[in-house]
Structure 1
Amino acid sequence: MTKHHRFLITLFAGLLLLGGISCSTPQKAEVDLIPMPRSVEYHRGAFTLSPETKFYTQLPTEGKEALARCLEGTLLGSVPFADEATGNNGISLNLCDSTVVPEAEGYRLEIGKKGVTLSASTEAGLFYGIQTLLQLLNNGDGKTLPAVTIDDAPRFPYRGMHLDVSRHFADKEFVKKQLDALAYFKMNRFHWHLTDGAGWRIEIKKYPRLTSFAAWRPFEKLNDWWTGGRTFCDQNDPRAVGGYYTQDDIREVVAYAAERHITIIPEIEMPGHSEEVLATYPELSCSGKPYVDADYCIGTEKTFEFLENVLLEVIDLFPSEYIHIGGDEASKNGWRKCPRCQKRMADEHLASVEELQSYMIHRIERFLNEHGRKIIGWDEIIEGGLTPGATVMSWRGEEGAIHAVKAGNPAIMTPGKYCYLDAYQDAPSTQPMAIGGYLTLEKAYSFEPVPDSLTTEEAALIQGLQGNVWTEYMTTPEHTEYMIYPRILALAEVGWTPAERKDWKSFHTRALHAVQFLKEKGYNPFPLDKEVGDKPESMRTEENLALNKSVTHLYPYSKQYAGEGDQALVDGVRGGWMYNDDRWQGFLNSDIDVTIDLDSITDIKQVYAEFLQLKGPYVWLPKQVIISASTDGKEYTTLATVDNDISPEVETLQFKTFGWEGNAKARYVRYQALSNGIEGGWLFTDEIIIR
């Protein structure tokens, strides 16, 4: 059997998995597809599958029989094969010349009253055209296809989803189930986060303790492990919770993904987020002791020997051109005191620990390049110098990608504000626990991956985008799916559909249908039809005496969470459910101390501001608020001192208003919110209101 024949068999196996669901909905003026195609031309009429409908392909008898077995049980399962092309009542699948369909993942679908012709110049294009056919059937009556001509191809070559299986393990069947859905919505990259401080998830034969020890912990939930000592245990310990993929599992999933034209990019974290490795092999750490360090020691050759041996086995398992090497959030603390790291810095003439990290990244990159692979890393790999061949995955906003493409490097957009699917997607009080953030379907859909500041040449280096699923609080498969869907569908359309073709109202309608389809297929999506929406206060302008008055900050606010800048606390705009909506103003490791000038001495009766607390991202309520007033800006009278009565140990999202009521005269109102002193802690407030 030829490679082409095997491909077409695999192609229709996808129909078995994702076909067969029909909804009794009338034909709409607009095709019910996600992502929306590049071009749709509508015609009169429709093509209806009947007992006489036949397939035509170039497959020989053996291939046709195999394909028929794959189609059993699907909407197309009863369609027989014709020995030669039929002009009427047929479905023709054609691999054509690139002059007809030039794009590698593009296709042309022609549906008329008499039949269907699907053409593509590559197997991937043919596959995506079949996903379109499947959606048209599944979203219609199961047998009628609208008469249309669709010319389609993706906007970006990289359309991905990341899944963290370190913090909470997901078995291979769960992974394959998500690959089915990603393929159905035309996504083509799966970033598999296989290692992190909470657990090692891939069998490495040279280092068996990585899966007999570092893959297991004596706690079911990550938070319990985090607060309970962060220790690991042997696989046969009765308390052991975790898991890993054997190399046979990996090969099975990689092949499964390839059949659906999804490339799996494995991630092996370095130099940080490596607590599980260093607890198992402490000689790779700066201290030489388990449970002390999170970063590999860069001063010892043992580290590079270990990483290179691991990567050799990873390369053997994954055919992906790229290997993700992490590179994010390394503390670098051990390196500053480690004699071996300091010697490495002196020997290599490195001026800082940032350059020491860059040394390690460059060295690993050379190793991978020598073995025919390239690296992707989180945007911290920019620090200390970026190599020409590296691809940057920009998660801390868009700045990393902008820096990369201006240096001539490819970049993938995955900023937390739009692409982190561990954030709340609706009113937090109605949702399961999340790490923080607030990312609605509409906000994910609004993402534009190409910043306006880029030239045409620079914009071409933006390869696409990725939705990230971090599983700190996702302890079950159902919860994980709830966080993925339908927001990943918004990113699928952002990655495929031309920007000028995007339409939120249309997408929302189509997403409602997609959620129902996913439920019928056994997924557990967020119930979009029951969405509560944003915080009511955020929907109106807050009229008050402080509105648009001059405000002075004694301590600077964070540039990352600036809101509308200097006037953010008096612009009348209240924050929503979470601090990352550009309406809350954040202060890191700092008190808040602001003074508002009311322009003239004014009778005031009320001063207040609201704060929020969420333990996961270290967002705290102030330990105390002091409100004072002055008529001359020199002598201040304390109006109120308000202490916080909510513990920082509370896990759930908290809102609290700190204020004063009474009677006073003031031109200047000073509002002080004191930090609780927890290192790395944030204070967030949205508006200081004076009445």
Structure 2
Amino acid sequence: MDGFIPLKKVYSFNPIPKELNAEESKYILGAQANLWTEYIQNENQVEYMVFPRILALSEVTWNGPSQNLENDYPDFLSRVENFMERFDALEVNYANHLYEIEGNILKEEGKVFYELTTPTKGKEIHYSINNAKTEVYSKPILIEENAKIKAHVFKNGEKVGSDFSEEIKYHKGITAKISLNVPPNPAYAGGGKEALINGISGSDKRYGDKEWLGFWGDNLEITIDFGTPTDINSVTTRFYNAPGQWIHAPKIIKMIRPFVDGTTDTISIPTFSPDDNNENIIEGYIPIIPILAGKMIDGSKIVLIIPNYGIIPEGQQGAGNKAWTFIDEIIIE
């Protein structure tokens, strides 16, 4: 399994492994990039996957890896932007992500903000929140309630790129602190542990975005600390289940619930096992699982214990290997 490889990650590639010394490094003569085509439908899709990634790899192998990525990458993008005219003339079906918008949750002094960025210089971002008046983006947006944000990139007064939208669910976990007993796998670390309580749900169609976190064979323990006693009557989350890709949802979730008086209890919630033959579950994400619903608790933190599915059984893809666990937003109300 491989994660999503954005253009910046290709540009940051160092073809000389760090384990090699100077004498050994001289035997590295070049680099190559492979495109596996078992899921590629036609030549247009091949071009979309290769361009402009191939430009980034070419520059890395010709000039050597960047020594200052944050300075070099914007300069590279400005040259790619000019090169797009050549792609157009050659009718190459390239992936144009240069005018895309990226949104990120920021937290500062107990407040939540939403930051909008676009990778190329000299552009304006226009946005609206909850269908209010459109404004020119100048600073991170304060979020104090559920929000639907729409945005567009403008170049020289003209709209370019695709429309952007994001929905943020402002729940009680969004301002909490989160800790994990193990980090996510580097290939599927997404937005890091904060992605699990940032109010943004991952894609319904793929697990490789920055909201889903992937763990390979690990038993996961998640602690969410609210700082002060907090009334909670709902905790939900969801998992990805794709046995053909070694991804198996856990069979149960446990939650340790501390109370103000110092006592705790533990509840166990079954999720989904392929043995259950649940007709509502298909390859893809498992719908929202209520870990706690309609039962008020009052404590400063909760702990979720998520045992890994275990070793993949005979007769399934990846038999004999550890299963992957993919988890999305934990919503606390």
TM-score by length of 2: 0.54
Give the equivalent residue in structure 2 for 1:505.
74
Looking at CA atoms only, which structure, 1 or 2, has the larger radius of gyration? 1
Contact 1:568-1:585 within 8 A present in 2 as well? no
- For 1:575 and 1:447, the matched residues in 2 are separated by 29
- For 1:444 and 1:514, the matched residues in 2 are separated by 17
- From the superposition, tell whether residues 483 and 569 of structure 1 become closer, same or farther in structure 2 (CA, over 3 Å): closer
Give the equivalent residue in structure 2 for 1:636.
265
Please state whether the residue corresponding to 2:55 is helix, strand or coil: helix
- From the superposition, tell whether residues 466 and 532 of structure 1 become closer, same or farther in structure 2 (CA, over 3 Å): same
- From the superposition, tell whether residues 605 and 635 of structure 1 become closer, same or farther in structure 2 (CA, over 3 Å): closer
Contact 1:629-1:667 within 8 A present in 2 as well? no
1:173-322 equivalences under 5 Å are none
Q: 1:592 aligns with which of 210, 214, 220?
A: 220
Alpha-carbon distance, 1:492 to partner: 1.0
Q: Report the AA paired with residue 304 of structure 2.
A: Y
Q: Deviations over 1:302-357 (max 9, x none)?
A: xxxxxxxxxxxxxxxxxxxxxxxxxxxxxxxxxxxxxxxxxxxxxxxxxxxxxxxx
Q: Deviations over 1:197-243 (max 9, x none)?
A: xxxxxxxxxxxxxxxxxxxxxxxxxxxxxxxxxxxxxxxxxxxxxxx
Q: Report the AA paired with residue 497 of structure 1.
A: N
Alpha-carbon distance, 1:469 to partner: 0.8
- From the superposition, tell whether residues 646 and 447 of structure 1 become closer, same or farther in structure 2 (CA, over 3 Å): farther
- From the superposition, tell whether residues 479 and 619 of structure 1 become closer, same or farther in structure 2 (CA, over 3 Å): same
Contact 1:515-1:528 within 8 A present in 2 as well? no
- For 1:519 and 1:447, the matched residues in 2 are separated by 27
- 1:524 counterpart = 2:152: no
Query: Which protein is richer in helix relative to its size?
Result: 1
1:126-165 equivalences under 5 Å are none
- For 1:573 and 1:464, the matched residues in 2 are separated by 43
- 1:540 counterpart = 2:168: no
- From the superposition, tell whether residues 677 and 450 of structure 1 become closer, same or farther in structure 2 (CA, over 3 Å): closer
Query: Which protein is richer in strand relative to its size?
Result: 2
1:339-488 equivalences under 5 Å are 437-450=3-16, 456-457=22-23, 459-488=25-54
1:92-111 equivalences under 5 Å are none
Q: Report the AA paired with residue 684 of structure 1.
A: F
- For 2:223 and 2:95, the matched residues in 1 are separated by 43
- For 1:454 and 1:468, the matched residues in 2 are separated by 23
Contact 1:625-1:658 within 8 A present in 2 as well? no
- 1:670 counterpart = 2:303: yes
- 1:681 counterpart = 2:330: no
Segments of structure 2 that go 5 or more residues without pairing to the other structure are 113-171, 313-321
Q: Report the AA paired with residue 105 of structure 2.
A: R
Alpha-carbon distance, 1:682 to partner: 1.0
- For 1:561 and 1:473, the matched residues in 2 are separated by 19
Q: Report the AA paired with residue 526 of structure 1.
A: A
1:71-86 equivalences under 5 Å are none
Q: Deviations over 1:129-153 (max 9, x none)?
A: xxxxxxxxxxxxxxxxxxxxxxxxx
- From the superposition, tell whether residues 674 and 457 of structure 1 become closer, same or farther in structure 2 (CA, over 3 Å): same
- From the superposition, tell whether residues 614 and 667 of structure 1 become closer, same or farther in structure 2 (CA, over 3 Å): same
Contact 1:444-1:490 within 8 A present in 2 as well? yes
- For 1:646 and 1:443, the matched residues in 2 are separated by 39
- For 2:19 and 2:209, the matched residues in 1 are separated by 22
Q: Deviations over 1:21-42 (max 9, x none)?
A: xxxxxxxxxxxxxxxxxxxxxx
- For 2:228 and 2:309, the matched residues in 1 are separated by 34
Contact 1:607-1:661 within 8 A present in 2 as well? yes
Give the equivalent residue in structure 2 for 1:422.
none
Please state whether the residue corresponding to 1:684 is helix, strand or coil: strand
Contact 2:308-2:325 within 8 A present in 1 as well? yes
Contact 2:249-2:271 within 8 A present in 1 as well? no
- From the superposition, tell whether residues 670 and 633 of structure 1 become closer, same or farther in structure 2 (CA, over 3 Å): farther
Alpha-carbon distance, 1:618 to partner: 2.4
Q: Report the AA paired with residue 540 of structure 1.
A: I
- 1:617 counterpart = 2:245: yes
TM-score by length of 1: 0.29
Alpha-carbon distance, 1:604 to partner: 2.5
